[in-house]
Amino acid sequence: MIAQRGLFAGPDPVISKDLYAQAVSGSACRERSTLTVEPASKVSGNTYFGRFPASYWQRWTTVDTVEVSLEASGSGTISLLASDFEGEPRVVTARVVGDETVSLSAPLDRFVDGGAMWLEWETEPGQRLIVEDVRWTVPATERSRLTAVTICTMNRPADCLATLTAIESDSLASDALHSIYVVDQGTDKVRADGVLPGKLRYLTQPNLGGAGGFTRGLYEVADENVNMLFMDDDIVLEPDLIVRMTAFSACTAEPLILGGQMLNLLHPTRLHAAAEYTDLDGIRPGMPIRHSLHAVDLLATDPATGRPYRQEFRVDAGYNGWWACLIPYEVVKEVGYPLALFFQGDDAEYSYRAREHGFPTVTLPGAGLWHTDFPWKDTDELNRYFILRNYTIISALHGDFPVLKIAGTLLAELVPYLLGMQYGAAATLIQAVSDFLDGPSILDDGGVSALARVRELRARYPETVAHPPTAAPGLASNDIVISEPGFLDRLALGPLLGVHRLALGSVPVSEATWWRVGALRTAVVTDASQRGVRVRTYDRSHLIRLAYQGAQVLTRFIRDGSAVRERYRAALPQLTSRASWSGLFSNEGLIP
């Protein structure tokens, strides 16, 4: 079974080839599946995509030996190297080669806490080495099965079509697939006629969020003995991710949820996180696991070790984002379907529920794709409602749910919103907590009514809308200049007393603290997307009304939170059943 391929260039010219193979000295020509090492040169595969994650294979699979084969022509030396959990390298085996098929093998026996394997190629003066068709293989298993892919998409037809085309252009990846479900929930439809014939299943439905989109694919293959791989639409896909995840899942000692890693689309050499967890009691998702790399440039050097950033230490994940996440048939059969959270948190909830049934989540290094950078998404968006509501639900279902601590977390978010003139964000938080307290019935329609309700709510607050930087409503472009912070701004005189140091000013998003913004009567704040600006204007009536509503809803949360928690827990088996989703899909006219 092919566990992964040795590739030397990415699927798109914007992707640095150094993520696949790096010229240590001399020069080399790197093409997708072919490497040419010029005389007196050395190339290393100790890269993000070039490494074989030996530690993860030893810990989670029944495989005890890996073999790497390739076609060589010319002459040179090929070495198989390994690292330990501290990143210390060692040579496993090396061979001087000519025109031949090369096969090197190594036991997976010294990697429990960490470490990986990779190849290096070196030539002496007068030598030239061409390498092709590099394959890391492991023994086939009885549990090998095909994978079905579900891509949930909404109004990103070009992105979705690019992903489908990337799969179709890679025969090894497409051959590993049983079927591909595109669940289109938008108005700008995907046109994929003739793409992946015989495998593509194109479905349309009303917008039921990510949970409804992904679950629709899961629902369609419920009676088939295949694994399901969820993938987002706004990605650049490395097709070998499908090969790597399918092979690893087939070899695990017991079924588990397998996640792929995310690299940032706008900064393609940056890794989002090696593994993440949710702080259940702090209702905070996306926390990096201890010892895991996160927000690092994979081509940079770690100043602490002097070595490139590599995930040497093996880490366990709490959950994995559904930008790429493989769920085996056995998990769905035992755990049930996702919870209808619309979007945000459905991935985390499913992993924590699966863990309670004995199915951990593993995030596999080197199984990567590129997804829109999270820091370039503004926090004052509609999805903040779903983050707050859904992660409170997840804490109630799977955490200790310390009511006072969570109330304190919500209050610590609400107060800066009010003082920073983010009245729409404050109203969004209040609505999220109120809806949580209404109990599990808020999930009955899959989130459709909540989406409409929050959109209408946020439309009442002008600062929730981004504008072009030269067209801020009611303001002359030349009157808006960047304000400098003042010594007394932290006293919050402006937000609390209505006494502002400046009438108007511009504030960069990186400096948009509540006290810096609150010193202005009108603040023009850069949107995190860097596409425009938000105009925040002091409104004492909004401040007082929302503070009162916030105090009311948090008091209610402290009083009733524990009882509401029990209602969610009692309802969970029914909410995640096939029958529940059948009812939801039937109501939308999707199934008879």
Q: Which residues are catalytic?
A: 347
User: Residue 134 forms beta bridges with which residues?
Assistant: 6
Structure-block tokens of residue 49: 């995509």
Backbone φ and ψ of 286, nearest 5°:
65, 35
The residue count of the chain comes to 592
Which residues make Cβ contacts (< 8 Å) with residue 115, sequence separation at least 6? Answer: 54, 55, 82, 83, 84, 85, 312
**Helix, strand, or coil here: 129?**
strand
Give the helix ranges, DSSP H, for 93-201: 157-168, 171-175
For residue 163, the one-letter residue type is T
Whole-number Å distance between alpha carbons of 204 and 337: 20
Gap between the Cα atoms of 59 and 251, Å rounded: 11
Work out the angle at residue 459's Cα, subtended by the Cα atoms of residues 344 and 206, and round it to the nearest 5 degrees: 50
* CA pair distance 509, 529, nearest whole angstrom: 9
Cβ atoms of 447 and 584 closer than 8 Å: no
**Distance from CA of residue 37 to its chain's centroid?**
35
Residue in the structure block whose two tokens are 């080399």: 28
Please list the residues that pair with 279 across neighbouring strands.
Answer: 284
DSSP at 463: G
Q: Give the end-to-end CA distance of the chain in Å, rounded to a whole number.
A: 41
| 362-to-46, 178, 214, 218, 227 alpha-carbon distances in Å | 22, 23, 20, 20, 15
Q: What is the C-alpha to C-alpha distance for residues 481 and 77, in angstroms, rounded to an integer?
A: 61
3-state secondary structure of 230: strand
Question: What phi, psi does 77 have (nearest 5°)?
Answer: -120, 135
| DSSP code per residue over 369-433 | EEE--GGGS-SSSTHHHHHHHHHHHHHHHHS---HHHHHHHHHHHHHHHHHTT-HHHHHHHHHHH
Query: Cα(64)–Cα(58) distance, rounded to whole angstroms?
Result: 7
> CA-to-CA distance for 501 and 519, rounded, in angstroms?
5
Hey, what are 460's tokens?
Answer: 């009442």
**Rounded distance between C-alpha atoms, residue 532 and residue 524, angstroms:** 10
